A and B are shown apart, each in its own frame.
Chain A
């Protein structure tokens, strides 16, 4: 279920050039020999499998406007990386973005809409690093 709540409405105040940040766990980094770089796997961009809520992101502009750092988004998540993609990219793939502030993360938002493989691959291939994960084996092609 990618859009569990009919009240989910795309928020026009989140502009197309707004960066959406998402944490990437170490197991979700892959080496892309075609691109000659390490990037996030398409598997990293999915809705919450437990409660079926839409994919969580953090509004990067709001984090910085609150005088916070990108590193603060990774607090308590050792080894994780942080990637960014634009709200406009999500909308190109029929996704909407809605603010869902949490006590622990006021800049939290959700990206709702069906996460087809095409959508997940688009996020994976077009996201940019905000914070790279620490160097590790995934810096290299699989042995």
Chain B
């Protein structure tokens, strides 16, 4: 689901970089920008901010995903040391990857994860239900650590993913099962 597009990346008010803290959030590519447009669509076509970036987009996102993407977008407001122990601001590319996982792998029937910022600037998606634990830690767009534990069977699984997130599907289905 990557059909939303930016209205424009140059020459309009649709997208711009807001003056921001030096050294933050550099180097976003077109892929990241297009997915951030999804996040922007939480605001139904209005202007949306993530960290130092403003976005506008055309297409709405599924209703079930809006609250989740809004929570991801809120992470863009976290300043350095937000945990009082030296935590870093959230890397927008990690936010984008979290949004991609939600939009591409989840559906309206799946339970919502807790969306947790990590101290290193990443994003963690967590499910603790149906007797199982699933933690997906996005450390960078190409470094995703997954931990799964099934309390019913004792099965434990650890995955390190980079590009292909399809191996997450059976784990998502497992935490979707009824209690």
Interface residues of A (CB under 8 A from B): 23, 25, 27-28, 30-35, 41-44, 46, 48-51, 53, 55-56, 77, 80, 117, 121, 138, 141-143
Residues from chain B with Cβ under 8 Å of A117 in the complex = 135, 145, 147, 158
Interface residues of B (CB under 8 A from A): 67, 75, 78, 80-88, 111-114, 116-121, 124, 126, 128-133, 135, 137, 145, 147, 151, 158, 179
Residues from chain A with Cβ under 8 Å of B129 in the complex = 33-34, 141
B120 with A46: CB separation less than 8 A: yes
Expressed in whole angstroms, the minimum distance between the Cβ of A82 and any Cβ of chain B is: 11
Residues from chain A with Cβ under 8 Å of B86 in the complex = 48-51, 53
Cα-based distance from A138 to B118 in the complex (angstroms)? 17
Given contacts A46-B120, A117-B147, contact A142 B131 (CB under 8 A): no
Question: Which of A27, A33, A56 is in CB contact (< 8 Å) with B128?
Answer: A33
Expressed in whole angstroms, the minimum distance between the Cβ of A113 and any Cβ of chain B is: 16
Expressed in whole angstroms, the minimum distance between the Cβ of B65 and any Cβ of chain A is: 12
A44 with B114: CB separation less than 8 A: no
**Which A residue sits closest to B113, measured CB to CB?**
A142
Cα-based distance from A18 to B151 in the complex (angstroms)? 30
Residues from chain A with Cβ under 8 Å of B135 in the complex = 42, 117, 121
Given contacts A49-B87, A80-B84, contact A43 B133 (CB under 8 A): no
Total A-B contacts with CB atoms under 8 angstroms apart: 88
B117 with A43: CB separation less than 8 A: yes
B120 with A49: CB separation less than 8 A: yes
**Chain B contact residues: over half helix, strand or loop, or mixed?**
loop
Expressed in whole angstroms, the minimum distance between the Cβ of B43 and any Cβ of chain A is: 18
Most chain A C-beta atoms within 10 Å of own C-beta, residue among B78, B81, B120: B120
Residues from chain A with Cβ under 8 Å of B83 in the complex = 23, 25, 27-28, 44
B84 with A31: CB separation less than 8 A: no
A43 with B147: CB separation less than 8 A: no
Given contacts A30-B126, A31-B128, contact A142 B114 (CB under 8 A): yes
Query: Can you spell out 27 A-B residue pairs with CB atoms less than 8 angstroms apart?
Result: A23-B83, A23-B84, A25-B82, A27-B75, A27-B82, A27-B117, A28-B116, A33-B128, A33-B130, A34-B129, A34-B130, A34-B131, A35-B128, A41-B116, A43-B118, A43-B137, A46-B118, A48-B86, A49-B120, A50-B87, A53-B86, A121-B133, A141-B111, A141-B112, A141-B129, A143-B67, A143-B112
Cα-based distance from A121 to B132 in the complex (angstroms)? 13
Residues from chain A with Cβ under 8 Å of B119 in the complex = 43, 46, 48-49
Cα-based distance from A116 to B127 in the complex (angstroms)? 19
B118 with A48: CB separation less than 8 A: no
Expressed in whole angstroms, the minimum distance between the Cβ of A24 and any Cβ of chain B is: 8
Cα-based distance from A121 to B151 in the complex (angstroms)? 14
Residues from chain A with Cβ under 8 Å of B75 in the complex = 27
B114 with A50: CB separation less than 8 A: no
Residues from chain A with Cβ under 8 Å of B158 in the complex = 117
